[in-house]
Structure 1
Amino acid sequence: MQAQGRVRQTDLDSGRVEKGRKVGEWTYYALTGSGRKVLVQRYDYDRKRLLYFRKPDEHPYRHEVAGSWQSGYLERPPLYIGGDGALSTYMRQLQYPEQARSKNVQGRVVVRFVIDTLGTASNYQVLTGIGSGCDEEALRVARSIPHEWIPGRKDGRAVPVEYELPFTFRITQAQK
C-alpha cells in the first residue's frame, strides 16, 4: 500500500503532509557556523517518537526528581520538535514595543518555563528582564509557542525540566 499525502522538503526539513498535518518520519537539519548542513532530528509523527537527535552542548538543567528540584546533567535535554530552526520560527514573531523603541531600550530578556513529562510548557516567568514592555512581549511570544516539546530524560525516565529561552531586543537602523 502506497503512502498518500504530499512530500514537503525545504533546506531544513523534509517529510509528508496529509490534510495539513505532518505524518510519518520527518528529518530536520540546521546550519553550522560555517554554513554546513547537519542533521539535528528525526521524528516520527505517527508514533509521536523521537528517532534521532544531535546531542547539544552539555550543561546542567534544573529538573525534578521524586518531588525535589535539583541541578544536574540529563541524558537528553528537552527538545523542540524540529530543533532550533522550528523554534526560531515562533521567536521571530517578537514585536518591538513602541515604549521600548522610543526610550531606546535594548537588551536580552530571558523567559523560564517548565517542560513537563508530557512535553507541555507551563509556569512562564521572566528570569532576566529589561522593562519598557519587552518583558511582556517576550512572555507573550514564549506562551504562543505550540506545545511540541520532547521531555527531558534522566535515568531513563521523563522528568520536568526548567528551560530558559533568551529573546534579544535590538533596534536596527531600519527600525529607527
Structure 2
Amino acid sequence: MKNTILPYCWLLLLVGMAGTADAQKVRTTKWESGLLDHRTKVGVWEYYGITPSKEKVVVQRYDHSTKQLVYFRPNGEMRYRTQTSPGQWAHRVVDRPPLFIGGDAALAVYTTQLQYPQLAQERRIQGPVTIGFVVDTLGHATSHRVLRSIGSGCDQEALRVARTIPDEWIPAQIGPAAVAAEYELTLTFRLAQP
C-alpha cells in the first residue's frame, strides 16, 4: 500500500505544477508587459508610451500584487489644482501627478468609446471638450465637470465617457503625502473627411 500512495502523491504534485504553469503566462503587447495568473495581472508590470521623438519608453511600473506604484516617468514641471484644505484649492507643483494605472494607452481603451452626437454631426460641430475631475487621496474619481465646451451634445458625451473610466487611479503626491488633485481629460470630436 505504501508504494502505491507515494507515486500517486508525486503524480498529484506534477499535475498541480502543470496547472500552475498553464495558469501563469507572460503577456507582452506594444503598451504593456507582465505576468498574468488566471487572467489577473500579478507582480510588477511595465507600461509603455511614445515620446514626441517616437521613442518607446517605460512610463510606469506598477506592482499589481501589492497595489503600489514602483516607478513613473516625470514629464517636466507638474502643476495641478490640488486641495490645500477642505473646500480650498490652489494650483501647486506636485511630486507625482494623478496617474491612471497603465498610462495613456490604458486610458485610451475608455476614451476611444466616444459616440458622436447626431446634432453635432448635423451642425458640423467638432473640436476638443475638456473634462475635469478630482482624483481623491484613495484614487477615486469624483466631481466630473466640463472645463472646455463645444456644445451640441458633445459635452454630455464627453462627461459620460469620463464617468465610465474605472477607479484605477493613483493619487497625486506632494512630498510623502497623497493629495486630492484635479485631472484634466481632453476628448476630441472630429468629423470624418468627405
Which amino acid in 2 is paired with 1:47?
A: T
Q: CA deviation at 1:6?
A: 1.7
Query: In the alignment, what sits opposite 2:31?
Result: 12
Query: In the alignment, what sits opposite 2:105?
Result: 85
Unaligned segments of structure 2, at least 5 residues = 1-16
Q: CA deviation at 1:59?
A: 3.6
Secondary structure of the 1:117 match is: coil
1:65 to 84, 92, 95: 84
Query: In the alignment, what sits opposite 1:38?
Result: 57
Higher relative contact order (CA 8 A, sep 6+): 1
Secondary structure of the 2:182 match is: strand
Q: CA deviation at 1:100?
A: 0.5
Secondary structure of the 1:141 match is: helix
> How far apart are the structure 2 equivalents of 1:43 and 1:127?
30
Query: In the alignment, what sits opposite 1:27?
Result: 46
> How far apart are the structure 2 equivalents of 1:33 and 1:110?
22
Which amino acid in 1 is paired with 2:58?
A: L
> How far apart are the structure 1 equivalents of 2:77 and 2:106?
21
> How far apart are the structure 2 equivalents of 1:33 and 1:163?
22
- Residues 48-86 of structure 1, C-alpha deviation per residue, up to 9 Å, x if partnerless? 000010002324211112323111100111011111111
Please identify the structure whose Cα radius of gyration is greater. Answer: 2
The alignment of Structure 1 onto Structure 2 pairs a total of residues equal to 174
Q: Which deviates the most, 136-145 or 18-27?
A: 18-27
- Residues 84-109 of structure 1, C-alpha deviation per residue, up to 9 Å, x if partnerless? 11111211111111110111001111
Structure having the higher helix fraction is: 2
> How far apart are the structure 1 equivalents of 2:83 and 2:51?
32
Residue 101, structure 1, aligned to residue 121, structure 2: yes
> How far apart are the structure 2 equivalents of 1:24 and 1:112?
31
Which amino acid in 1 is paired with 2:176?
A: G
Percent identity over the alignment? 51
Secondary structure of the 1:140 match is: helix
> How far apart are the structure 2 equivalents of 1:154 and 1:34?
30
Q: Could you state the TM-score of these two structures normalised by the residue count of structure 2?
A: 0.85
Unaligned segments of structure 1, at least 5 residues = none
Q: Which deviates the most, 87-96 or 109-118?
A: 87-96
Query: In the alignment, what sits opposite 2:152?
Result: 132
Q: Which deviates the most, 79-88 or 29-38?
A: 29-38
1:49 to 68, 86, 89: 68
Q: CA deviation at 1:33?
A: 2.3
Q: CA deviation at 1:12?
A: 1.6
